[in-house]
Structure 1
């Protein structure tokens, strides 16, 4: 099995995977028009960095989904450290077969998944 892009980059010392940096993340969030009542899905949430930012900034509920169990465990730890368990949750699953009913979310965000896909 080939190594996932984010795993390789982490091994090389990269601690944040944000194409375009925080400026691009802020632009994305501004365009999403998130409100405190929004229910947000972050696809390929990795360690939960953007989820935490969204919850802290907007006070809304965010669900993250990712295939990487180790990243999800780190996300759970990060969520707990920030005491945001009431706003944030993570789910193991694929962006290609989301385990949610249609129209479950008001906003869906994704920052870097397409740059990290592994060819089958």
Structure 2
């Protein structure tokens, strides 16, 4: 296993986000059983509407957090314009030490950004998640029947591990103290659309970050529109030691 590249994985701040649609946010909110007053950590800011939707439409108390002040600015401005300052707090965070109390949040949502190696992220975020709270997390996944060697090698260098199949990602959720609930991946068309938007925004990106992203896009396109590695969105519930598994849905 090769050492991981730098985290968070680079992503242009103004590009569209995987799983960042209002529909995706509402679907997560239903699974997480969010209600007025639920306290939510949205990790990763940019051109996504999750903090506003969760606060304005669902009455949640939201902390919108990122590692860069520049990415928090858009959220601050929108929150101010919509007079949501009593429901949405923006905060710059250090990923090594988030600075939130244990069990602070009823749900944690990270749409389209990959902030941590998988195991490290699941461990760090579980600590600030309330009992029975839900996490919605984005991470690369191996998809399709065949994944080119070049794609596997690229992603192993980036992640410090070979990309896992969606069912294997659910297994990682379980092994890190969560009850796995669902996983979805971007379709080939959705990934193509995402990469076109990202590519158009790399001109002003830091040179090293832009080069890695261009390599990622090029490796995807080598597969003639058939993704070998895509992005997945995992949902799991914090599970306590000794907790019994849920009742089987199989009626025999």
Q: Into which bin does the TM-score normalised by the smaller protein fall? A: 0.7 to 0.9
CA distance in 1, matches of 2:28, 2:21: 11
Map 1:24-103 to 2 at 5 A.
Answer: 24-46=24-46, 49-103=49-103
CA distance in 2, matches of 1:95, 1:33: 27
Quick one: higher RCO (CA 8 Å, sep 6+), 1 or 2? 1
Q: CA deviation at 1:18?
A: 3.5
Q: State the partner residue of 2:107.
A: 107
Cα deviation digits, residues 57-81 of structure 1 (max 9, x gap): 2112101110121111111001001
Aligned residues: 111
CA distance in 2, matches of 1:77, 1:106: 25
Q: State the partner residue of 2:11.
A: 5
CA distance in 2, matches of 1:110, 1:82: 23
* Kept in 2: contact 1:60–1:87 (CA 8 A): yes
Secondary structure at the counterpart of residue 5 of structure 1:
coil
Secondary structure at the counterpart of residue 106 of structure 1:
strand
* Kept in 1: contact 2:22–2:53 (CA 8 A): no
Structure 2 unaligned residues grouped into runs of 5+: 1-8, 115-138, 140-157, 159-208, 213-252
Secondary structure at the counterpart of residue 28 of structure 1:
helix
* Kept in 2: contact 1:75–1:90 (CA 8 A): yes
* Kept in 2: contact 1:67–1:93 (CA 8 A): yes
> Which has a greater percent of strand?
2
Cα deviation digits, residues 28-68 of structure 1 (max 9, x gap): 22211111021111111335621001011211210111012
Secondary structure at the counterpart of residue 30 of structure 1:
helix
TM-score between both structures, scaled by the size of structure 2: 0.39
CA distance in 1, matches of 2:99, 2:42: 13
Cα deviation digits, residues 81-104 of structure 1 (max 9, x gap): 111001001100134421101011
Point out the structure with max Rg over C-alpha: 2
TM-score between both structures, scaled by the size of structure 1: 0.76
Superposed CA RMSD: 2.7
